[in-house]
Structure 1
Amino acid sequence: MNVAEVRKQFPILDQEVNGHPLVYLDSAATSQKPVQVIEAIDDYYRQYNSNVHRGVHTLGTKATDKYEGAREKVRKFINAASIEEVIFTRGTTTALNTVAASYGRENLTAGDEIVITYMEHHSNIIPWQQLARQTGTVLKYLPLQADGTISLDDARATITANTKIVSIMHVSNVLGVINPIKEIAAIAHEHGAVMVVDGAQSAPHMKIDVRDLNCDFYAFSGHKMCAPTGIGVLYGKKELLENMEPIEFGGEMIDFVGLQESTWKELPWKFEAGTPIIAGAIGLGAAIDFLTEIGPENILEHEHKLAAYALEKMSAIEGLSIYGPRGAEQRAGVITFNLEEVHPHDVATVLDAEGIAVRAGHHCAQPLMKWLDVSATARASFYLYNTEQDIDRLVDGLIKTKEYFTNVF
């Protein structure tokens, strides 16, 4: 992968922030967008803006073709068996809430168990908390090893005959750890449970094959993978989706509406009420074209190299703590850290003055912060457009941050 050529496709990177060339290290929060995606969205609004499915005129037909064409691109990208298994949503959060509210409410009763982990994003905690409260089910947490990884022995001990749902993130947005989803899915299925995967941090960074993982549901967001905000995907096995009820009702998702009752369209449209996110889906399709051309395997290899380089350089900074596994092959391009006696928000503020964008806070993972025994952390996250020079700038900025607070206090 030629990173210099890749960077040219991202116009936002060619600017200065606070008098310094921008170093963007916050792609785990949202990625930047290449010109191909920007142009695809612009082309929709300039050339064929129209609603989909409803009209027979030329603009409506083209919009529908592009919208449904994007669904087919998603299907290929994750290797789903059919477009019936690909539902467009507003993002990972909406997708996970859909599974909890539709599948969960219909299939779980008091005494059943839901298994998640301490590392989950709030979007993969709160829907299950609410489901447990509403149905009387038990929410269990799979323990973590000292480095934040999951032991399959712990998975076997935690997932039982009472477990009905196992929901785990594929890649941690804090620890960067890549979880053994395929193996955990096999354990879940041995006990008759369904496997739900939060793929927000994996779909942008590696090859995804939902049939190989044998997960039952897989959720991800477009904006973390070079696509616009407000568009995401819920993959679900057809036999499960067919037996689930929609959670939103209105136009587009209906087959027949009478005075007292209605029936729904077939998959996937019964889960897509109202005017869909047309421009977002078209942008997601363009992003998938872009990422496919580069190759997900090449993206992950690049991130492993950056992670190894960053771990080596950052570990040399005295007083800097790094969270998660130390092996670069065990993680995606996320490194979360704290600088001794400096609040993460102060670290991020000083780095921003140097033109370096990192994230600081609890990263929507407060249970994990408690497990780590910290209130907050700073996080640098890499993507296909980052370089070793970006990491050098980060390291220099951290050294400057440390010197500044040592001298001030």
Structure 2
Amino acid sequence: MDHKKDFPIFNKHKELIYLDSSATTQRPAKVINKLNKFHEEENANIHRGIYDLSAKATGQYEGARKTIAEFIKASEDEIIFTKGTTESLNLLAHTLPKLFKKKKEIVLTEMEHHSNIVPWQQTKMKLHFIKVKDNELDYEVAEKLITKKTAIVSITHVSNSLGTINKIEKIIKLAKKHGAIVIIDSAQSIAHQKINVKKLNCDFLVFSGHKTYGPFGTGILYGKKYILDKLQPFQTGGDMIKEVGLYKTIFLETPQKFEAGTQNISSVIGLAEAINYINEIGIENIQKHEKELTIYAIKELKKIPQIKLYTSKNQGPIISFTLGKIHPHDIASILNEHNLAIRAGHHCCMPLMKKLGIAGTARISLSIYNTKQDIDKLIKALKKAQEIFK
């Protein structure tokens, strides 16, 4: 599977080996072309415009909602457009706790991205964290922490720093046993494996468009409609109202009541085109390709002396490592000289890095445009980095 030709950036930068897809994926030509076409030929604001351009833009915007709903097996009225995973989680942290009068506990994990920790810290609820053991969640601890006092469980599907694929089905089942609401952060899984929200039975699922071959500034919040209907809007203003008086306002129904103001229309349409691209290739084919690459990368990385991999038994296409006493930033800098783009640092997971006893890691993340040849060049460059820091 070689889809590098689908991505214009590799035509411009022919030597580029891009291994930072968990930070953001590159965009295929069809997504870029869709964006350009909208801006050049179809630009108009949506909803209430009594003219052809506006009607067409509205149709494409709402059509994008349908495309994304079908992709995760949800209903259209359960899909809310946001700026990204971070805004989706902030929306939930701002609104969900108000539903609970007696339950005042939230369960998270030690491997969460800051965006799934900091918003919950702003609530008045007590936080508990499922511990990380051997780069995986300790499910025995989870069974002790998730109780009848638990209001919300919010957990990442795939760790953005470790690449661990968590057993979310197990966590969801445990949470449901105690009547807790479950939120799944699928930012690092949605473009890599099939997700069916109905089968999962999660209450909410969030992800970002720019990690899914789509544009920046787009995100999705899926939520069960009966819960969304109970929540108050996160933001208020135009386009989410039914009637406004001087002292009272009536909001529109879900999902429109959560989409205040002028939306990122073109990028939402571009995100739908990215989902179409994934569907054309087949999510199963993407998963197979990335799994083969991940196995190969781990095998080759293990051959390097003094390397430490932070991997697990159930590994996604993200691999973090340290290399002797070489600082991760120095590793990334040297790799950059060899046209290799990786990520280095704490990856917005400071609590996890502290738990691991390190300041940060070097991280590679794989996608459909990567090949075994990319891995071979990575290994060669890492060995050169070792020579420099002898």
| TM bucket normalised to smaller | over 0.9
1:383 aligns with 2:341: no
Is residue 37 from structure 1 mapped to residue 26 from structure 2 by the alignment?
A: no
Select which of 70, 80, 99 maps to 2:64.
Answer: 70
The question of whether the paired residues in 2 share the 8 Å contact of 1:50 and 1:60 is answered with: yes
Select 1:102's aligned residue among 95, 98, 105: 95
Structure 1 match to 2:270: 283
Q: Which residue number corresponds to residue 56 of structure 1?
A: 50
Shift of 1:111: 6.5
* 1:109 CA displacement: 5.0
In structure 1, give the amino acid aligned to 2:84. Answer: G
Residue aligning to 1:117:
109
Give 3-state SS (helix, strand or coil) of 1:45's partner: helix
Q: Report the CA distance between 1:110 and its aligned residue.
A: 7.4
Structure 2 contact 19–365 (Cα < 8 Å) conserved: yes
CA distance in 1, matches of 2:67, 2:43: 20
| Deviation at residue 322 of structure 1 after TM alignment | 0.6
Corresponding residue for 1:354?
338
> Aligned equivalents of 2:386 and 2:102: distance in 1?
52
Please report how far the alpha carbon of residue 290 of structure 1 lies from its aligned counterpart in structure 2 after TM superposition: 0.2
Secondary structure class of the residue paired with 1:335: strand
- Gaps spanning 5+ residues in structure 2: where? none
Contact 2:130 2:138 (8 Å CA) reproduced: no
Trace 1:2-401 onto structure 2 (pairs within 5 A): 2-3=1-2, 6-16=3-13, 21-80=15-74, 82-104=75-97, 106-108=98-100, 112-131=104-123, 135=124, 137-146=125-134, 148-325=135-312, 327=313, 330-401=314-385
The CA deviation at 1:54 is: 2.0
Contact residue 173 and residue 363 of structure 1 kept, 8 A:
yes
Name the amino acid aligned to 1:140: H
Shift of 1:154: 2.4
Query: Distance between the aligned counterparts of 1:176 and 1:229, measured in 2?
Result: 22
Question: What amino acid is the match of 1:7?
Answer: K
Q: Which amino acid aligns with 2:127?
A: L
Structure 1 length as normaliser, TM-score? 0.94
Shift of 1:373: 0.6
Displacement of 1:180 in angstroms is: 1.0
> Could you tell me how far 1:236 is from its partner in structure 2?
0.3
**Which amino acid letter does the alignment assign opposite residue 139 of structure 1?**
L
- The CA distance in 2 between the partners of 1:74 and 1:94, in whole Å, is 18
Letter in 2 for 1:172: S
State the shift of 1:150 in Å. 2.0
Uncovered stretches (5+) of structure 1, i.e. residues with no partner = none
Letter in 1 for 2:133: Q
Quote the Cα distance in structure 1 between the aligned partners of 2:347 and 2:73.
30
Q: What's the TM-score, normalizing by structure 2?
A: 0.98
Task: Give the Cα–Cα distance (whole angstroms) in 1 for the partners of residues 200 and 108 of structure 2.
Answer: 17
Match of 1:405 in 2: 389
RMSD: 1.1
2:210 alignment partner, SS class: coil
Mapped to 2, the partners of 1:200 and 1:402 lie a distance apart of 33
Superimposed CA distance per residue, residues 188-217 of structure 1 (whole angstroms, 9 cap, x where no aligned partner): 011110001111001111111111111001
More displaced 10-residue stretch of structure 1: 111-120 or 336-345: 111-120
Kindly state the Cα deviation for residue 107 of structure 1 after the two structures are TM-superposed. 2.2
Decide whether the 8 Å contact of 1:31 with 1:223 is kept in 2. yes
In 2, the alpha carbon distance for the partners of 1:402 and 1:14 equals 31
Q: Distance in 2 between matches of 1:199 and 1:66?
A: 25
Q: Quote how far apart the aligned CAs of 1:14 are.
A: 2.5
Please tell me whether the aligned partners of residues 122 and 364 of structure 1 are also in contact (alpha carbons under 8 angstroms).
yes
Give the conservation status (yes or no) of the 8 Å contact 1:345–1:378.
yes
Structure 1 position 108, deviation (Å): 3.7
In the comparison of the two structures, how many residue pairs are matched? 390
Q: Distance in 1 between matches of 2:169 and 2:340?
A: 36
Does structure 2 conserve the Cα–Cα contact (< 8 Å) formed by 1:111 and 1:138?
no
Identity of aligned residues (%): 46
Distance 2:284 2:11 in 1: 26
Question: Contact 1:300/1:332 (CA < 8 Å) preserved in 2?
Answer: no
Q: CA deviation at 1:139?
A: 0.3
